[in-house]
Amino acid sequence: MTTTAVLGGGISGLSAGYYLLRRFGKPLTIYEASPRVGGWIRTEWHKERGFIFETGPRTIRPKGVAGANTLELVEQLKLPVKPIRSSHVAARNRMLYAKGQVCMLPNSPKGLIATVPPFTKPLYRALLHDLTTGGTVAKNEDESIYSFAERRFGKEIADYAISPMICGICAGDAREISVRFLMDSLFEKEQKYGGVIKGVLYSRLNKNEDKDKDVDRPIDEPSNLYKQAVQEKWAMYSLTDGLEQLPRALRKYLGEHDVNVQLSSRCNNLSFSSDGARLGLRNAELPVSHVVSSLPAYQLAPLVRQQHPSLCAQLLEIPYVDVVVVNLQYNSDQLLKQNGFGLLVPPVENLPVLGVIFDSCCFDMAGNTILTVMMGGKWFEQWFGHQPSQKELRDTAQQHVRKILNIKEEPTFSRVHLLHKCIPQYTVGHKRRVQQIRDYIRNYKLPLSLCGAAYDGVGINDVILSARRQVELLPMPQTH
């Protein structure tokens, strides 16, 4: 009998389980080290007071192939969604805290010609810069997203648009993160046509150009929920009882279809032979035919160290950062001067805060103001050292909320979470690194597939799609 094991019960491992079940049926087991499923997706319910705290992700984007794929899953699991439409204040208003003030980012074409703080020039000047600057002479394989933005659009855009965006997405330093992480296609166009705008215009004229790209290929007939999201112009969405409903519903679905989800089951070793793999679990060795690992790369690395030290070393080259998440609840809903999704703090401001999310502007929180302060990331150690106390972290968050948002009230309720090594960093060379890791696995014919946030994108949509694509690459068993 052929058996498949999935390592990790976060959203990618559960999704891998779902797609494996759909493609091959049983037998299949998911091994999760902790006593719960969901990994970084975690919702704290305060139903009696009408609000929730999300300690990890809080919204999902419906756009693109990956967005459509998640909506298909959400529809199949019959989960109730809370959409935010593009006309909603949380979709329109995004802010920066820069140069001592909260600045609203331009959200209409008018913003291109006006000078909007913190920028000192109208944004069309950045576009002119790109049009009048030649392309790089030597073809680059990769560079940092900061250096790309600075070359094409100038230093102000790199400092006040790109760097805070990178903080918001992966808590990282734009000077280290690969341009291919978010701007792969713009970078390719610049390399090919000598400019971003030129490249975009040429490829619009030559519509077939992107046709063959795997990432743009629709997976299925769009689900009804995806059609609804397009028709109603959703900018993002969550689930009625918070995002943790998604891993919980997946676990329930898998359980109902006889997939075994074993909690408190840490895999501590992984070895391979010509007829399969062996998982080390507590004191036992379990033979399986194939392993799908959804573990963070640094957690998978020690499992393969003994038999494949070079694979272990390559996995360890993917760095991770620590993020502090502080959830705050205030009894009044009249505290924010400006409504919106929240604000980001550009790293040039040199503050421990990466950003503040205005949760109660996004979703109804029954008359409470709910804020989430994100801190640390790439700069965690610089600000907090090795073992900061909960009090120190809470005080730092509150002090910055007071200063930035001018909120004098004390929160009624708060929670501090230190998320250790929670977000992988796609630093310059990441794409090549992942290719080498997958080449190694292919060359040694290891019965191992890799999915999860370490490889093909760090958002929820990315990791669900990554799980699906890895499962779809597996050969169908031979029937005799």
Selected from 81, 126, 229, 325, the binder of ligand FAD by CB under 6 A is 325
Burial state string for 405-429 with b = 16 or more CB within 10 A and e = fewer than 16: bebeeebeebbbbbbeebbbbbbbe
With contacts defined by CB under 6 A, name the span among 1-9, 222-230, 307-315, 382-390 that binds ligand FAD.
1-9
Half-sphere exposure (CA, 13 Å, Cβ side) for 292? 32
Which 32-51 residues touch ligand FAD, going by CB under 6 A?
Answer: 32-34, 39-41
Considering the rule CB under 6 A, would residue 358 count as an interface residue with ligand FAD? Answer: no
Burial state string for 361-397 with b = 16 or more CB within 10 A and e = fewer than 16: bbbebeebbbbbbbbbbbbbeebbeeebeeeebbebb
Task: List CB contacts of 469: < 8 A, sequence separation 6 or more.
Answer: 451, 456
Contacts with ligand FAD, 391-430, as mask; x by CB under 6 A: ----------------------------x--xx-------
Which 256-315 residues touch ligand FAD, going by CB under 6 A?
Answer: 266-267, 294-296, 299
Which 153-172 residues touch ligand FAD, going by CB under 6 A?
Answer: none
For residues 90 and 361, give the distance between their C-alpha atoms in angstroms, rounded to a whole number. Answer: 6
> Cis peptide leading into 118, omega within 30 of 0?
yes
With contacts defined by CB under 6 A, name the span among 180-188, 204-212, 219-227, 451-459 that binds ligand FAD.
451-459
Nearer to ligand FAD, 143 or 241 (CB): 241
Contacts with ligand FAD, 83-112, as mask; x by CB under 6 A: ------------------------------
β partners of residue 101: 98
Nearer to ligand FAD, 401 or 463 (CB): 463
Nearer to ligand FAD, 142 or 244 (CB): 244
HEC string of 114-182 equals CCCCCCCCCCHHHHHHHHHCCCCCCCCCCCEHHHHHHHHHCHHHHHHHHHHHHHHHHCCCCCCEEHHHC
Selected from 4, 5, 8, 126, the binder of ligand FAD by CB under 6 A is 8
With contacts defined by CB under 6 A, name the span among 54-62, 205-213, 249-257, 391-399 that binds ligand FAD.
54-62
Tell how strand 94-98 and strand 260-262 pair up.
unpaired
Binding residues for ligand FAD (CB under 6 A):
7-13, 31-34, 39-41, 56-60, 266-267, 294-296, 299, 323, 325, 419, 422-423, 452-453, 458-461, 463
